[in-house]
Homo-oligomer: A and B are copies of this chain.
Amino acid sequence: MTDFSPDCIAALKRVSTATITTQLFKRGLRNCYIQGVRPLGAYGENMVGPAFTLRNIPSREDIDVMSVFANPAHPQRWAVENAPAGKVLVVDCRGDARAASGGEILATRLMVRGAAGMVSDGGVRDAAAIAKLPIPVFCSGPSAPLNLAVHHAVDVDVPIACGGVPVYPGDMIVGDGDGVVVIPAHLAEEVARDAAEQEVLETFLLTRIQGGARLPDTYPPNAETRAAYAEWLKNRG
């Protein structure tokens, strides 16, 4: 379904967005975390998938009326109906949460079609119902008004802004309890691998800290701690 390896996807399902931001920071990328979005529900594992995008501009009273939805090419509806399975629909609402990016019916359709999730820097309506669906949805919070009150869907699968971050179609999107991070497509494989490694190390370090180790020598690890880690890794098999 995508150009990313199964190992990459699998790794990104387990590592935290915190770890991913550290890996991106090491590569000079400081602005990769979508500001201001939260998961609507409690999801068992990370949301992971390449970005499929939808762009909104402000609505205008004379053209953004109920009848626009009769047109199956309306970009909001078209995006939901055509988001490829395994991808994450990322919606640019200019950070404006005064109206919804979508509601239960659209989220259900996304789910049925196999989308990996949805992210919007605007609001979502029917939030309580959507929170119970297995498809992960991240947004700035519940917002009842329909999209047309504030938004005009205009483009599908173009580069967008979401929560202050650039999102290019195909960028890898990962979401967990801390929020959503955007990994530029060409970095996804190496970031996934290095993030997985970082987390194994940090699991070990956390055990040490839980056992009373001091931060100095442990976090970051000095040579002695690194040696103990190597040993621990070996025993762990």
Chain A residues in contact with chain B, CB under 8 A?
A: 16-18, 20-22, 25-33, 35, 38, 57-62, 66, 69-70, 72, 77, 80-81, 94, 97-100, 103-106, 108-109, 112, 125-128, 141-146, 148-150, 152, 154-155, 158-161, 164-167, 176-179, 181, 184, 202, 205-206, 209-210, 212, 214-216, 219-220
Contacts and interface: CB of A to CB of B under 8 A. Distances in A.
B25 A149 contact: yes
Contact of A215 (B17, B80, B103): B80
Given A60-B184, A209-B108, A103 B25 contact: no
Nearest to A61: B28
A159 B153 CA distance: 10
Contacts of A106: 215, 219
Nearest to A214: B81
A108 B178 contact: no
Q: Which of A106, A143, A145, A202 has the most CB of B within 10 A?
A: A145
A233 to B, nearest CB: 18
